[in-house]
């Protein structure tokens, strides 16, 4: 199992964090595209719930873009 950028965009849309998640650019920090820090935490928490993984703060610190989220979640899923 793995996720891709579209998975992240879809979840952002389901959480109603951005009006048009399809317009999000994968390599630009999400905080520069309208997601605040609480939105970001909620998004990561939802990935933890939906995929039954743990995303500790120490591993999330450098995560800023959709590509970063995809890489981190896929790494966690590969270790399951």
What was the pLDDT predicted at 68?
98
The 10s digit of each residue's pLDDT in 24-77 is 999 999 999 999 999 999 999 999 999 999 999 999 999 999 999 999 999 999
The whole-angstrom distance between residue 55's C-alpha and the CA centroid of its chain comes to 11
- Cβ neighbours of residue 60 closer than 8 Å, sequence gap 6 or more: 44, 72
pLDDT of 29: 98
Domains detected in the chain: 5-78 (1.10.1200.10)
Confidence bin at 9 (pLDDT 50/70/90) = very high
> Would you say residue 80 has pLDDT above 90?
no
């Amino acid at each position: 199992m793995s996720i891709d950028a579209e998975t992240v965009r879809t979840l952002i849309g389901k959480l109603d964090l951005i009006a048009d998640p399809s317009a999000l650019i994968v390599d630009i920090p999400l905080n520069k595209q309208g997601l605040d820090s609480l939105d970001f935490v909620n998004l990561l928490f939802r990935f933890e719930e939906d995929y039954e993984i743990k995303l500790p703060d120490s591993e999330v610190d450098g995560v800023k873009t959709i590509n970063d989220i995809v890489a981190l979640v896929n790494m966690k899923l590969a270790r399951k």
